[in-house]
Structure 1
Amino acid sequence: MKKIIYLLWITLHLPVWAEDCPQWDKKEAAENINRLSGAVAHHDERYFNQNAPIISDSEYDALAARLKHWQACFPALEIKTHFPQDPQSKYTVNHQARMGSLKKARSDEKMKRFLARISGSEVLVQPKIDGIAVELVYENGQLIQASTRGNGETGVDILNHIRQIPLIPKMLTHLDIQTIILHGELFARLDKVAPSILKQYASARHMVAGQLNRSEPEIETIKAFDFFPWLWINSSYSSDLQSIKTLATMGFPLPLEYTHKVSSYRDVKQLLQHYSAIKKPLFLMDGIVIKAESNVFRNKLGWTDNTPAWGIALKFAPESAISEVEKIAFTIGRTGHITPILHVSPVVIKNRAITKVSLGSIQNLKKQEIALGDQVSILLKGSAIPVFGKVLFRPENRVLAKLPDTNRYTPFTCLSISPGCEEQFIARLIWLIGKQGLDLPPIDKPTIHQLVSTGKVKALEDILQLDHQSLLNAGMTQSESQQYLQSITEPKSLRQQIRAIGIPGVGKAKTKQLATCTQHLNELPRLKAEHMEKCSLHGVQAELTEFTNKAEIKALIMHLEKNIPTRSVGI
């Protein structure tokens, strides 16, 4: 049964990957698809049976979607499908009612069609809690059965665990109802769980799953667990809202607090945005649930393929995506630091197109063992900065990148243009005239590249003595050129000029100290140890002396001394 559910989930809920098919022959296709199928099965086993995932849910979804796309690209291949071992022996409890799952609205059009289909009823919205689906059964007010979703028909007996959770009622009083069957989400209250406990697990959901797998749960951990009933199976009320109000009197207050009536698609989207923006949520969520309010209307629509026709899930925009490494490039910064850049097949995360991501260092590239053709996850950190996640799949034939010589570039190299030095030299120019340096009107990198490649800028000081026509020829406008040339002649503080030189190991604080201990730039190469000691400039004398005595830096200092007035106020 679980295998059937898995196939339906893959078929119905994962979108076909919107990209070209790989250019593989039959043998390559079979090898790579079988390898990826095995990788997905490995993650299934860790997720479903071990409760120890090593990738996020969104990374898994993307990996499974990639597998489906590849299979669609090569339909003639007979691919062995891997399934996680189904622990049927653990499923000892028969559910009182089948436990299905919601379909997902993966487009605005699908969401609108669903709302049109349930237009005969009022519409409710609830948060989609990311926990463990369970069934609770009360007989004459007493909790007598508790089980996990399992395969939808039978599940794992967790009655002992539920009885030890303080937030879940064990007795329901003042009721004339003999049997109450509740389906809902067992989850961890993020306002109650200790951070020291939570950090031991991949997520709050896996903390719950891990405790359910124990024969005896840890009391300190499960006291933070709670239950959110999302369906009263045998409710006699025609209105789900009335069911929710009654559940609140029984000791299940959360649905009443977190259920919203909506009247339009706009209302739905606003609630989706509201829940996705909550900084400190009560529980882990991955979207919202939209459903018909009328139980009579629900019965009319019924169920299809183990999913209710009267409800649907709308997930938050994923914060990660999977992409293929197409190229590995390297950038060289002002200090000689080499940064690997992964160029990947275009992906969209939160409406933002991403084609490359930084790895930070050569060491990280080696540690991650990334090669061309690898399938990697990319995340949006703080919804702004693309960051590398992890390698999700390595194909059969991988091409390793040729690594640059890390000893070739240092804080003292590429002080002028020479073969192999263009990138570091341009980084020095950008620093010199940028906000952290002389703070001149900006010249973008392509323009600086043009000036360097045409020979107009060969030394650092050349960027400060360009003429109007050279700037125009490089791509600047009339007004941009005039503003830049005018700004060059304006006074700059000594602190600005020292900072602009870019002395290794001398940051903002030490720049300020140097500016208060010297009168002129040309004193820097001649500073003695006793002078450095007096100015509390410990540990930078060697770098300062070596750097400022370089011929290229001496030439830059001479140009600044001669051509840029020093502003005495606010050193």
Structure 2
Amino acid sequence: MKWITIFIGLLGWFSTMALAACPSWSPEQAQQEMAKLNEKLSEWDNAYYQQGNSVVSDATYDGLSSQFNEWQRCFKPADKLQQPWLPTQGKALHPIAHTGVKKLPDRAAVAQWMKGKTDLWVQPKVDGVAVTLVYQKGRLIKLLSRGDGEKGQDWTAKAKMIPAIPQTVSGLLADSVLQGEIFWKRESHVQKTMGSSNARSKAAGAMMRQSDPSLLNELGVFIWAWPDGPNKMNQKLEILSQGGFPLTKAWSLPVNSVEEIVAQRETWFTTPLPFVTDGIVVREAAEPAGKYWLPGKATWVIAWKFPPAQQIAEVKAIQFTTGRTGKVAVVLNLSPLQIDDKQVKRVNIGSVKRWQVLDIAPGDQVMVSLAGQGIPHVEEVVWRVSQRDKPQPPVEKMITPLSCLYFEPWCREQFIARLAWISSPAILNINGVSVRSWQQLQQSLHMEHIFSWITVTQEALSQISGMSTARVAHLWQQFTQARQQPFRQWLMAFGFPLPAVVLATLPDSQWSHLVARDELSWQKLPGIGSGRAKKLVEFVNHPQIAALAAFLAQQGIRGFVDQ
């Protein structure tokens, strides 16, 4: 399907999926899963090449193609890697082969490649359909898809309907071979925030379809190579611009250092462009004669791709986490992947219900992106394995906003989550006590309820294995200081079901005042309706809440001691 960018680099392109651990499948299951995915890839190929329809996004197809080859490396290493299906009519020979572009992973690799090279230029790596344009005696006589780099599909008839492609040229262009990218035109496209927008598929689809020629009006052309053209880059760019290919001059800049390349890459990644890009290309002005060009053999040009906005990852395991209010969240453990500057290994997909709707099992492939503030987010499930071995979620009817105030083995997670909430800066501000700290304290001290730490002695802390004297002193100091927190902070520590804005203006300063309130009394507070009032009455009279309040009174905590 997306042979435009996959074909040349397919054998070596495993930057995010490569070297992942092989699935722990039996030979029979591996055969089943591979056959199923291969069938789907072939189905997508057929729709794409025969009908010009892209059934799935570029990112989905590219990622699953790569995943198939990874499985093949695991289970059938002697077989040739799967190649993208090429259209049978792609038999037209390129007068000069498409070399493809080697992709370098980072700044250091680019700097290494630059050593000893001069007269370097940087261009955006336009994401579209690679083509050859052949002009003879000033007229366009051929337009060929790149295909396998040596042979492609003849699109000459379509070329006459694409306004962006000059049908006649003059001067040095009159007898020339040009290589470039047919792309889907965009307005103010910002790659970092908008991603690929499936522009590559749209461009290819417009070229493949036999109907709706109006789509060809949406195409542009960017010439990135003129083999056997003028030696001077400035001359080459000027002739192209005057001949009807102005984008090449507008988007080709000389560079002298890797710092300039880094800066330009960031600029093109974050500012509006008239096309979709997936990186930058750095090239030498001096090129060998066209007769020496071979697929995969270019040494005078490299690409440095942008970090992808989204990637496919395999679900390795599924975990359930319980928060302090009893809500169960589902967390996917993923094969590690890099998105932008963030390594992603886990992603929270929300509630058990949403997980069930998404129907995710270990072994499935999910599309992951970064949402606001760099938080990993599952966009969709792009592939499901045949064997659906899902873990059982916790029994939610046992887990409620009032459960796990007292420790029980089955609710360890919610109990620890409550302690983490209590110690947070906005509640009792017990500094330096993390979730892991509470886990260690509970394992050693066997605290009965969420306020048991108040009575822990310094001697008891010193008996905990691996806890230093300084750490013991710090915890003791923090626990002692927490006793002095205001009444309202202790109410928040309970998880008191009153909105923060209302709690801040609550006139009551004693627990006994709260117990004395009935539903009508609660409803006199702003924003408190009958439903909330009923919950508040139930909360303060709940046996475990009452017991904890009595405990705090025994410890002399302000607001709980009757005055």
When normalised by structure 1's length, the TM-score is: 0.80
Give SS of 1:429's match: helix
Partner of 1:569: none
Classify 1:178/1:446 alpha carbon distance in 2 versus 1 (closer, same or farther; 3 Å). Answer: closer
Moved more, 146-155 or 543-552: 146-155
Identity of aligned residues (%): 25
Give 5+ residue unaligned stretches, structure 1: 567-571
Partner of 1:125: 122
The residue correspondences of 1:211-230 to structure 2 (distance < 5 A) are 211-215=206-210, 217=212, 225-230=219-224
Partner of 1:104: 103
Partner of 1:183: 179
Query: Deviation per CA, 1:457-502, whole angstroms, max 9, x where unpaired?
Result: 22222234433344455547145324413431334263x3443321
1:256: how far off? 2.6
Instruction: Say yes or no: does 1:485 pair with 2:467.
Output: no
Partner of 1:240: 233
2:57–2:198 contact (8 Å) kept in structure 1: no
1:343–1:355 contact (8 Å) kept in structure 2: yes
Aligned-residue RMSD, C-alpha: 4.1
Partner of 2:198: 203
Partner of 2:524: 534
Partner of 2:401: 411
Partners of 1:301 and 1:98 lie apart in 2 by: 8
1:299: how far off? 2.2
2:58–2:201 contact (8 Å) kept in structure 1: no
Classify 1:13/1:279 alpha carbon distance in 2 versus 1 (closer, same or farther; 3 Å). Answer: same
Paired letter, 1:449: Q
Partners of 1:533 and 1:34 lie apart in 2 by: 64
Give SS of 1:255's match: helix
1:242: how far off? 2.0
Paired letter, 1:70: W
Classify 1:216/1:365 alpha carbon distance in 2 versus 1 (closer, same or farther; 3 Å). Answer: same
2:315–2:334 contact (8 Å) kept in structure 1: yes
Partners of 1:31 and 1:159 lie apart in 2 by: 43
1:231: how far off? 1.9
Paired letter, 1:490: Q
Give SS of 1:364's match: helix
The residue correspondences of 1:23-42 to structure 2 (distance < 5 A) are 26-42=27-43
Classify 1:324/1:174 alpha carbon distance in 2 versus 1 (closer, same or farther; 3 Å). Answer: closer
Partner of 1:157: 155
Classify 1:206/1:487 alpha carbon distance in 2 versus 1 (closer, same or farther; 3 Å). Answer: farther
Partners of 2:523 and 2:4 lie apart in 1 by: 76
1:456–1:462 contact (8 Å) kept in structure 2: no
Instruction: Say yes or no: does 1:511 pair with 2:506.
Output: no
Paired letter, 1:72: R
Moved more, 284-293 or 69-78: 69-78
Give SS of 1:308's match: coil
Partners of 2:168 and 2:255 lie apart in 1 by: 31
1:10–1:64 contact (8 Å) kept in structure 2: no
Paired letter, 1:205: R
1:92–1:157 contact (8 Å) kept in structure 2: no
Instruction: Say yes or no: does 1:71 pair with 2:72.
Output: yes
| Structure 1 counterpart of 2:280, from 281, 288, 293 | 288
Query: Deviation per CA, 1:343-380, whole angstroms, max 9, x where unpaired?
Result: 33444545654433222121232223222333444444
| Structure 2 counterpart of 1:502, from 490, 495, 509 | 495
Paired letter, 2:198: S
Partners of 1:518 and 1:218 lie apart in 2 by: 74
Query: Deviation per CA, 1:9-49, whole angstroms, max 9, x where unpaired?
Result: 43344469324555555444444444444444445445555
Partner of 1:10: 10
Paired letter, 1:400: K
Partner of 2:332: 342
1:445: how far off? 1.0
2:421–2:427 contact (8 Å) kept in structure 1: yes
| Structure 1 counterpart of 2:361, from 346, 371, 375 | 371
Partners of 2:3 and 2:262 lie apart in 1 by: 34
Classify 1:358/1:45 alpha carbon distance in 2 versus 1 (closer, same or farther; 3 Å). Answer: farther
Paired letter, 1:287: G
1:333: how far off? 1.0
Give SS of 1:68's match: helix
Paired letter, 1:333: G
Partners of 1:75 and 1:207 lie apart in 2 by: 34
Moved more, 384-393 or 105-114: 105-114
2:127–2:200 contact (8 Å) kept in structure 1: yes
The residue correspondences of 1:444-455 to structure 2 (distance < 5 A) are 444-455=434-445
Partner of 1:314: 304
Partner of 1:547: 539
Give SS of 2:350's match: coil
Partners of 2:34 and 2:248 lie apart in 1 by: 43
Partners of 1:25 and 1:535 lie apart in 2 by: 64
Give SS of 1:421's match: helix
1:317–1:350 contact (8 Å) kept in structure 2: yes
Query: Deviation per CA, 1:71-102, whole angstroms, max 9, x where unpaired?
Result: 334457668x766654335x697766544532
Partners of 1:469 and 1:374 lie apart in 2 by: 50
Partners of 1:161 and 1:301 lie apart in 2 by: 25
Partners of 1:227 and 1:411 lie apart in 2 by: 60
Partner of 1:54: 56
Classify 1:404/1:36 alpha carbon distance in 2 versus 1 (closer, same or farther; 3 Å). Answer: same
Provide the aligned length of Structure 1 versus Structure 2: 545
